[in-house]
Amino acid sequence: MLTKRIIPCLDVKEGRVVKGVQFVELRDAGDPVELAAFYDQEGADELVFLDISASHEGRETMVEVVEQVAAKLAIPFTVGGGINTIEDMKRLLRAGADKVSLNTAALLNPTLIQAGSDYFGSQCIVVAIDAKYDEELGSWRVYTHGGRRETEWEVVDWAKEAVRLGAGEILLTSMDSDGEKKGFNLALTKAVSSAVGVPVIASGGAGEAAHFLDAFEEGAADAALAASIFHYKETSVREVKSFLKEKGVLVR
């Protein structure tokens, strides 16, 4: 059985880490380079860096910041935001990223997933999915542009298509749960985890250590990602791992 991963996430806007609730009301959470160094020492298994306004503003991820963050890390590092071409991927991987995360660009141009997977290997390609429940659909719909635009895709269908095209991992964020600290969306996580054969990272809603246990046991996630509870020191990666070990979950 694979060990479960705990992943802090740096949502970066204009060079600063920010965090909001349901993708709005962003507040400052610190310097990305300092936070990266802190999480590396704290025992995080990986780090995700998302330039959250890149696709919306139509610009590239800040390569310089990525280089500075990568220099502080000995753990795998995923970067997303404004990645639209193979050249963008090359630039970020050269800057120190281990994986690239595609969201909006993958939906606008699905062949980018396949091209990236063919060129770098599927282990390099993470497809990030922002999901919001749709009453009419009776399921979750996929959103793009930092949660600003609704698409025609149903989440499980898009996850399966992304994996078919070569995604090696799915980063699944519940927009409904994001920043609420009431727990991960377990029904959403389970629906996607049971539909695809690649690791699924649960994201959106972590408020305490027990929520990570739920994501692994009920949601069948392979990894769980959190931001605000770590940034604002409400709990720590060490505390979460200690709790999970006590509950018999395999963690590093």
Residues with catalytic roles? 11, 130
Helix (H), strand (E) counts: the chain? 11, 12
CA angle 199, 190, 196 (to 5 degrees): 40
Q: How far is Cα 80 from Cα 137, in angstroms, rounded to an integer?
A: 28
189: left (phi over 0), alpha (psi -120 to 50) or beta: alpha
φ, ψ for residue 2, nearest 5 deg:
-75, 145
Q: How far is Cα 130 from Cα 132, in angstroms, rounded to an integer?
A: 7
Residues 6+ apart with CB under 8 A from 182: 205, 207
| Residue 252 near residue 3 (C-beta atoms within 8 A) | yes
